[in-house]
Amino acid sequence: MPAMSNFARFYAWLDARTGVGALGKLAKKKDVPIHRHTAWYYLGGMTAFLFLIQLCTGLLLLFYYRPSAGEAYESVQFLMAEVQFGWLIRSIHSWAANLMIFTLFLHLFTVLLVKAYRPPRDLTWFSGVILLALALAFGFTGYLLPWNELAYFATRVGTQIAGVLPVVGNFLLRVLRGGEDVSGATLTRFYAIHVALLPITTLALVGLHVVLVQRHGMSIPLQAESAKGPKRSMPFFPNFLLRDLVGWLAALAILAALAAFIPAELGTKADPFASAPVGIKPEWYFMFMFQTLKMLPAHILGIEGELFGVLAFGLGGLFLFLVPVLDRKSAAGERSPVFTWIAVAMIAFIIVMTIVGYTVDPSA
Amino acid sequence: MADSFSTKPTPRRKFLDWLLGTSVGGLAAAVLYPATRYLIPPRAGESSAATVTLPLKPDDIAVNTGQIFKFGNRAGLLIRTSNNELKAFSATCTHLGCIVRYRPDLGEIWCACHNGHFDLNGRNVSGPPPAPLEDFTVNVRGDQIVVGKRT
Amino acid sequence: MTRTLLGAMLALCCSTAARAQNPEPKKETCVACHEVMPDGPLADPVKAFGQDIHSAKGFGCAACHGGDGTDASMGAMDPKKGFVGKPRHQQIPVMCGHCHSDAQFMKRYNPALRVDEVAEYVTSVHGKRLAQFDDQKVATCTSCHPAHSIRPPSDPKSSVHPLNVSKTCGACHAKADYMASYGIPTNQLEKYEQSVHWKAISVRHDLSAPTCNDCHGNHGAAPPGISWVGNTCGQCHSVMADNFAKSRHAVVFPQMGIPGCAACHNNHDIQATSDTMLGLGDGAVCVNCHTEGSPGSAEAVAMRRGIDSLRMDLDSARGLLERAKNAGVEVSQAQFDLEGAHNALVSSRAAIHTFNVATVDTAVGLGRTITAAAFVRGQAALGELRFRRTGLAVFALIIVVLIAALLLKIRELEPHTHDHTDA
C-alpha cells in the first residue's frame, strides 16, 4: 500500500477484525447544518464530555472514599490532606458536577427554544428530560457523601420536602432516608444510588439519546429550514469534532483553574444533634425551587403551601416532559410563538428565583 | 472538504500534525501523571475517626507517665499507670477546654487551669469540671498502640 | 457574750425539745387566721411559706415559733407553751441552730447537710458584732435566708443560689446609708459586677466561678487576712498561687501589708488579665512599685519581652496556617500541634508569678520551638500552593498549544470557507 499513514494501516487492521469500517462509513456521512443557531449544537457534546469526567474522577474517588457515617468525613479529609493530588480529583469532581448541570440546563433550554423536540425527535426529548432528572438526582445524592454539616442539613430539608406529598409522602420519605431520620442508613442508600444505580441508568439513557440523535441527524430550526439560499453544512468528522474538542479542552482548562484556585471545601463533620446552622441553602440548581417554596404562603386554595408548591413543580416537570405532544403547531411545522414565550417565562422564573435565593437575608 | 489522508503532506502540514501529536501527548501525560500518583497509597496509611494508630511504640511510654496524642481533631491523653496498664482519655478538660495532663505525683489527671482533678477512670473528682473525661479503648498490636472510641 | 447565747440556747432547748421531736403534729390552725389577715407582717409569711423547704419537709409554724399550733384560739400563742413569736435579732441563730446544729436530728432530713453553720457564724464579723454589741443591723440567718421562703442553694430562685448570692450580700453591703456607721466601702457589689468572675457566672452560666461566699466564706463571712489572700485565690488558681508562694513577693508582701494577689489583680473588680499588665508601660501594674530603673524593673521588662515574643510568634504561625488552609491546603495536623504553643503561652503567663526571669524564659522557649516548627510547615503548605499554581500554568499552556494546533488544523481543512458564521 503506497504512502499509507500508520493510522490508516491500524484502521484497516481493526476493520478486518471488528467491522468498524461500516460504522466509519456512516460516520463520514454525518453532517452538521450551518445556520444562525449552530453554536447550540455544541452543548450536548459538552455535557457528555463533562459526564465522562465525572465517571473518571468518580471512579478514582472510589479508591479512597468510605461510605459509612463514622468514616466518610475522615476519608474525604484524608483524601484532601494526604493523598497525592487528592485535592485535585475531588475538586474537579465537585466543579465538573456544577458545570455539567449548567451546560445540561443550557442544552435543554436551547433545544426547547429552537423546538428541536418536534417529531420524530420527541423520543429523544423524553429521554433527555429523564436524563435531567437523573442528573439532579446525581447532584442530590452526591452532595451528602462527604457527610459534612451543610450536606447533612440540606439532605434533611430536601427529603422532608418529599414527605409533604399526600398518601405516598411518608413512605417516600422513609424509603429515601432509609429510616425516619437522616442517618448512616441514608448515606449507604445514597451511595448505592450515586455510584451504581444512577450511572447504569444514565449510561443506558445517554446511549439511547445519542443513538437517536445519530439516527435522526441534527434538527434544523424552522426559521432556518424556511430560509432562502443554499443549505450549508459541514462534516461531523473531522470538522465539527475538532471544534467540539476545542470547547472540551477549554472546559478542561477552566476546571483545572477552578480546582487550583477554589478547591472543594469540606467544612465540619455532620452532627445530628447540633442545631441547623443559619442560612441553610441547597445547591444552586435547586435554589429556585427551594426559594419558591419558602416564599409561598402557608395555605393556598385550602392546600398546605409547601404541598401546593411541590405539586406545582411536579406539574411543571410533567409539562416540560410532554412539550412535544402538547406543541401541535411545531409538530405540524408551523411557528409556535406561545411555546416560545412559555419557554422564556420558565427560564426567566428560574433565573430570577435563583438570584433571589442568593440575595435574600437567610433570617428573613 | 479536503481529505487529510489523500493529498501529499506539505512541510506545514507535517509541522502541524507534529504539533498536534506532541500536544496531545503532553495533555495525556498531564492527565495521567496526577491520576497515577493519586492511586499510589500515601505513607500515612488509613485515617479513620473511630481509631487512631499512635506514632509511638509501647516501649516509648514509661510506667506512671502520660503523653498527649492527636485523636482526629482533638487531643487525647495516653497514660501508663503504676499497675502497668495503658489507658487513654480525651485530654480536653470538661470545664473550660484546657488540655489536661497526668500528674505522676498524684496518680491523677489534672487540669492546670483551675485545679480540676480526674481519677484514673476519667471521673471528675475535685475542682470545677462538671463531667468526666471521655475514655477510649487502648489496644497494643505488636509494635503499635491503637486507640479507639468506645462504641 | 457567747456564753449568753449558749445559755439562751439551753433554755430554749428544754422548751422546744418536745416540739422538735414531732414535726408533723395534728393539723396546725395558725394558717386559718393568719392567711385572712390584711397584707402585712402577720399575713405575708403564710402566703410565702408554701414555697419554703421547711414546709415541704413537713414543718409547720410552731416548729420555730413555739406555742400550741393545735389550739385555734389566741391561747396558741402562750409564752408558757413556748411561744416565741417574732424572735429578737440575737435569738435567730439560736432558733435556727436548734435543729441545724443537731447532727442527729438533721440526719433524718438531709445527711449531707453541714451542721456547723452557727459555729461558723459566731466566728464571722456578723456573729461577733451581734454577740458583742447586739448590733441590730448585722446579718443573721434570716437576713440571707428569708425566713418563710427558704429554698436550697441549688434552686435558681433561692437567695443563696450562686447567681443570686451577690445581690443578697449587696442588699446591705451595697447601701451606703445603711453601712454608713461601719466605715467600710459599699462599692464591692458594683465592682464585682464588672469582674470576670461575675461575667463567668451571669453570662457563661459557669456556676463554678466564685461569688461572695467562695472567697469570704458564707456563715463565717470575713475578709481574708493579708497573708490568706493567696490561699483564697489559690483554691482555683492553684498554679499561680504555688508559683507566687515560691517567689520573693510572697515573703515581702505580708511584711509590707500588701494583700497578695489583690495588689495587682484587685479584689472585687478582677478583670480579665492581659499581657499589658506586665512591665513598665501603660496599663502595667509592676510599675506601681517598680519604677523605671529601680530593682526589679529590668526583670519585669525582660519577662514582658519574652511573653510578647511568644505571643507574636504564635499569632503569626496561626495566621500563616490559616492562610494556607483558606487556600485549600490541609493543615489540620500542623494546627493541632501549634496548640501546644498555646499551652506553653498559658504556662508562661502562670510562670510570671514566680517573678523569676529564667523560669518564664524556659516556658517561652518551649513555646517558640513549637511555633518555629509550625512556621516550617506553614511555609511548606504555601509551597504546596505554589506547586499547584505552577502545575496549573503548565497544564493551561499545554491546552492553549493544543487548542491553537486544533484551530490551525481546522483552518487547514477548510481553506476556502472562512465565510461561514458558526462558532
Per-residue pLDDT tens digits for A339-358 = 999 999 999 999 999 999 88
Judge whether A267 is closer than 8 Å to chain B, CB to CB. no
CA distance A266 to A151: 10
Q: Is A254 part of a structural domain of the chain?
A: yes
- A39 vs C423: CB contact, 8 Å cut-off? yes
Residue B41, chain C, CB below 8 Å: the answer is no
Q: What integer is the mean pLDDT of A204-227? A: 88
Higher-confidence position of C159 and C22: C159
ipTM above 0.85, yes or no: no
Put the strands of the sheet holding B86-90 in their side by side order.
B51-53, B144-149, B135-141, B86-90, B74-80, B65-71
Confidence category of residue A202, pLDDT binned at 50, 70, 90: very high
Distance from CA of C401 to the nearest CA of A (A): 11
| Farthest-apart Cα atoms in chain C, separation | 132
Q: What residues of chain C, 361 to 400, have a C-beta less than 8 Å from chain A?
A: 388-389, 391-392, 395-396, 399-400
C55: exposed, middle or buried (Cβ count in 10 Å: 0-12, 13-18, 19+): middle
Residues of B within 8 A of C418 (CB-CB) are none
Question: Rounded to whole angstroms, how far apart are CA atoms C168 and C175?
Answer: 12
- Band (pLDDT 50/70/90 cuts) for residue A226 is confident
Q: Do C422 and A80 touch (CB under 8 A)?
A: no
In the prediction, which pLDDT does C417 show? 55
Q: How far are the Cα atoms of B115, C1, C267, C268 from residue C216, in angstroms, in the given order?
A: 20, 24, 11, 11
Would A24 be classed as within a structural domain? no
Distance from CA of C201 to the nearest CA of A (A): 24
pLDDT 10s digits, B63-120: 999 988 888 777 899 999 998 999 999 999 888 788 899 999 989 999 888 888 999 9
Contact B34 A63 (CB under 8 A): no
Q: Report the CATH number that the domain containing residue A236 is assigned in CATH.
A: 1.20.810.10
Length of chain A (residues): 364
Q: Is residue A168 part of a domain?
A: yes
A chain contacts of residue C329, beta-carbon cutoff 8 Å: 87
**A chain contacts of residue B1, beta-carbon cutoff 8 Å:** 234-235, 239
Do C358 and C301 contact (CB within 8 A), yes or no? no
> Which residue did the predictor score with more confidence, A148 or B3?
A148
Q: How far is C240 from chain B (nearest CA, A)?
A: 9
**How far is Cα A211 from Cα A48, in angstroms, rounded to an integer?**
13
Structural domain count of chain A: 1
Chain B partners within 8 Å of A73 (Cβ): 49
For residue A45, the distance in angstroms to the closest alpha carbon of chain C comes to 14
Q: What is the pLDDT of residues A270-282, one digit of tens each?
A: 888 778 887 677 8
As a whole number, mean pLDDT of residues B3-7 equals 53
Q: Is residue A20 domain-resident?
A: no
Please judge whether A80 and C330 are an interchain contact, meaning their C-beta atoms are less than 8 angstroms apart: yes
Measured between CA atoms, how close is C52 to chain B, in angstroms?
28
- Chains contacting B with at least 3 CB pairs below 8 Å? A, C
Residues of A with CB under 8 A from a CB of C: 34, 36, 38-39, 42, 77, 80-82, 87-88, 91, 232, 234, 238-239, 242-243, 245-246, 249-250, 252-253, 256-257, 260, 262-263
Q: Choose the closest CB to A70 out of B41, B44, B49.
A: B49
What is the reported pLDDT for C6? 56
C403 and A249 within 8 Å at the Cβ level: the answer is yes
C412 in A contact zone (CB under 8 Å): no
Put simply, whether B120 touches C (Cβ < 8 Å) is no
Q: pTM, whole model, 2 decimals?
A: 0.69
* C-alpha torsion sign, points A61, A62, A67, A70: negative
Tell me if B50 and A60 make a contact (CB, 8 A cut-off): no
**Residue C50 or residue C14, greater confidence:** C50
Contact C208 B128 (CB under 8 A): yes
A60 touches chain B (CB under 8 A): yes
Determine contact: B39 vs chain A, CB below 8 A.
Answer: yes
Helix (H) or strand (E) holding C206: none
Mutation target for A interface from C326, C329, C330: give the one with most A CBs within 10 A: C330
**pLDDT at residue A37 tops 90:** no
Helix, strand, coil percent values for chain C (each to nearest 5): 60, 0, 40
Neighbours of chain C (3+ CB pairs under 8 A): A, B
Q: First-to-last CA distance in chain C?
A: 109
CB contact (8 A) between residue C332 and residue A249? no
Domains of chain B, residue spans = 1-40, 51-149
- % chain C with pLDDT above 90: 43
Q: Do B38 and A60 touch (CB under 8 A)?
A: yes
**Cβ neighbours of C327 in A, within 8 Å:** 263
CB contact under 8 A, C405 and B19: yes
CA distance C373 to chain A (A): 18
Give pLDDT tens digits for A298-327. Answer: 888 888 888 899 999 999 999 999 999 999
What is the maximum span of chain A, computed from C-alpha positions, in angstroms?
A: 82
Q: Where are the alpha helices (DSSP H) in A327-336?
A: 328-331
CB of C410 within 8 Å of a chain A CB? The answer is: yes
Closest CB to C395: pick one of B30, B70, B128. B30
Closest partner residue to C236 among B1, B99, B114, by Cβ?
Answer: B114
The answer to whether C296 touches C284, Cβ cutoff 8 Å, is no
> What is the CATH number that goes with domain B51-149?
2.102.10.10
Q: What is the pLDDT of residue C423?
A: 46
**Between chains, do C388 and A260 touch, taking CB under 8 Å as contact?**
yes
Residues in chain A within 8 Å Cβ distance of C402:
249
C171 has pLDDT over 80: yes
Does residue B10 register a pLDDT over 90? Answer: no
Domain that holds residue A121: 37-221+230-280
Rounded CA gap, A315 and A338, in Å? Answer: 18
Which residue from A minimizes the CA distance to C413?
A239
Nearest Cα of chain A lies from the Cα of B42 at a distance, in angstroms, of 6
- Predicted confidence at residue C14, as pLDDT, reads 45
Using CB atoms, list chains with 3+ pairs below 8 Å to chain A: B, C
Give the model's confidence band at A362: pLDDT under 50 very low, under 70 low, under 90 confident, else very high: low
- The answer to whether the beta carbons of residues A305 and A156 sit under 8 Å apart is no
**∠ CA B81-B83-B86 to the nearest 5 degrees?**
45
> How far apart are the C-alpha atoms of C232 and C221, rounded to whole Å?
13
Over range C322-326, report the average pLDDT. 82
- Looking at the predicted structure, is the pLDDT value of residue C9 above 60? no
**Spatial distance between the Cα atoms of B30 and C361, rounded to a whole number of angstroms:** 52
Give the span between the Cα atoms of A164 and A172, in whole angstroms: 10
